[in-house]
Structure 1
Amino acid sequence: MKALKRFLGIVWLAFAAFSGYFCIFTFGLPKLATGKQDDLVFGIIILAILTPLIVAGLATFGYFSVKGEYDDV
Structure 2
Amino acid sequence: MNGIKKILGIVWIVFGLATAYFGIFELGIPNFTSGKQDDLVFGIIVMIVLTPIITGGLLIFGKYALSGEYDTDN
TM-score tier (shorter): over 0.9
The equivalent residue for 2:52 is 52
The equivalent residue for 1:5 is 5
Q: Percent identity?
A: 51
Give me the whole-angstrom Cα distance separating, in 2, the residues matched to 1:70 and 1:56.
Answer: 18
Shift of 1:16: 0.3
The equivalent residue for 1:61 is 61
Partner SS for 1:72: coil
CA RMSD of aligned residues (A): 1.0
Shift of 1:35: 1.1
Give me the whole-angstrom Cα distance separating, in 1, the residues matched to 2:54 and 2:19.
Answer: 8
What TM-score, normalized to structure 1?
Answer: 0.96
Shift of 1:23: 0.9
The equivalent residue for 1:35 is 35
What TM-score, normalized to structure 2?
Answer: 0.95
Q: How many residues in Structure 1 have an aligned counterpart in Structure 2?
A: 73
Runs of 4+ in 1 over 3 A off after TM superposition: none
Give me the whole-angstrom Cα distance separating, in 2, the residues matched to 1:35 and 1:49.
Answer: 21
Render the CA deviation track for 1:11-50: whole Å, top value 9, x for unaligned.
Answer: 1001100111011111110000011111000000000000
